[in-house]
Amino acid sequence: MIRQSQNLLSRVTPVLDFALAFVFAYYSANITNRLAPLFGWERELAFNLLTSTPFLAGVALVSIPFVLQCVGFYRKNNLQSISSAIRQLIGFAAYYFAAWAIYQSTRNNAPHFNHVILVNAVGIPLVIFCRFLLTRFWRLHTRVGLRQVILAGTEEDIARQWDKLPAYWRNRCNVVGRAITGQMTERELQDIIETNSVSHLVVCGGLGSYSANEATIQQCEMQGIDIYLMLQSESHPGTMSASINDIQDSRMLILSSVPTRFWPRLVKEIMDRIVAVIILICSLPVWIIAAIGIKISDPKGPIFYKQMRSGLYGKPFGIWKFRSMYVDADKRLDEIKAKYGNEMSGPIFKLTNDPRIFRFGHIIRKLSIDELPQLLNIIKGDMSIVGPRPLPVYETAEFPSIAHRRRLSVKPGLTCYWQIEDRSNNGDFDNLIRKDLKYIDNWSLWLDVVLFFRTIPAVLFGRGAK
């Protein structure tokens, strides 16, 4: 059976970061006392953070690996750029400063206690950053644990795919042979394996290469040699991550374009509902004003408007909005398109000063108040706070390419990159798709937090709203 490669480093680094944070927290009071003369602080020689507040310190320290995971610090296994690591650690520190501020508001702590917490909030990210730099340098430059590797596949596939692998990975491989598809006998392959103590077989050419090189793979498999099947090829672009799932005696290779880790998705589901309930409660006066304004502007129609939109994987659901158009708006859509055209390219329809919108409707659209009822969709589970905007079912059906449907692989949301950076100011449909896929490919809990707070000024200043 082909074994899934276990990346030991991805499991060790969170534990190492916890250990470093623990050591720093233990000595943080001493560090604070040494820094005290520089900042005019009073010294407290008898204080130790871990023994004085063991529960608080314990919870904070245990949560460190989880918060780092939330901000995406472990996603690229210590090979992200240094600037990206700095941004992620700043985000990590922001979480702790926010938690500290909340805790500080509930009780009156001694100045020395606050100074020690401040030193920890700054010092722990610095210690972890130093660990990151050392780990990154080691991964990029070391040749420890050199692998004895055989490459399998056609000459074209090997030439095309092997050189595309990052240099740091290839540098740790000693290629001792090439099993060209259909050209190497079992005995010739076995001689290479035994002579060079081969530990890895790398199969180039994508999923189709498995059957073409099945005999080579099985020969290596029987001897316990690790097998790397390169999934990316010209016909299978590398937008999907791979994982292995064992279901009793059956083994499945899972290719997914969205994050498959359970707990970050669970946290997102919980936070979506909590935030939606909080915003709904705080915005109730706005709901009342909107309802009154709609009834005054167009008393014959309902306050709310329900439309079928495309949800997760295209499943239709009814989205709720405050009504901003006259009751016959849907029937007049084709007429408006023919008379005024469309400011968006592709299947999405946008029009400045759409005559179907009544006066108060323009106001609630400009301030995005018409979107508030979608908080009910979020509480129900049809939507998220952050995600690609759900499009009407008839617009989804007119997508020019089936590749555009990848934006449906995550739950739709109230806001995303396009709503913050472009909205109606950019009528390029391909740009909208590009921004949505950027969100999907780079998703993390921290990205959701960033986009949520970037949405606030976009809404307050009505950027691009029509």
DSSP string for residues in 102-139: HHHHHS---HHHHHHHHHHHHHHHHHHHHHHHHHHHHH
- What residue ranges of the chain have pLDDT lower than 70? 1-10, 143-145, 232-240, 258-261, 423-427, 461-466
Task: Give the CA distances from residue 174 to residues 136, 258, 263, in Å, rounded to whole numbers and listed in that order.
Answer: 21, 34, 38
Distance CA 49, CA 65 (A): 20
- Checking 278-284 for CB contacts under 8 A at 24+ apart, the result is 279/372, 279/375, 280/372, 280/375, 280/376, 280/379, 283/372, 283/375
Q: Taking the complete model, does pTM exceed 0.75, yes or no?
A: no
Residue that has been written with the tokens 């598809």 in this structure: 181
pLDDT of residue 424: 54
Distance CA 38, CA 131 (A): 26
The correct CATH number of 147-256 out of 1.10.760.10, 3.40.50.150, 3.40.50.1360, 3.40.50.2300 is 3.40.50.2300
pLDDT of residue 446: 84
pLDDT of residue 425: 59
pLDDT of residue 345: 79
Closest among 378, 408, 396, 389 to 258, alpha carbons compared:
408
Residue that has been written with the tokens 């309902």 in this structure: 302
pLDDT of residue 288: 95
Domain boundaries, given as residue ranges, for the chain? 8-141, 147-256, 262-460
Output DSSP code: residue 407: G
pLDDT of residue 373: 96
Closest among 413, 419, 417, 418 to 459, alpha carbons compared:
419
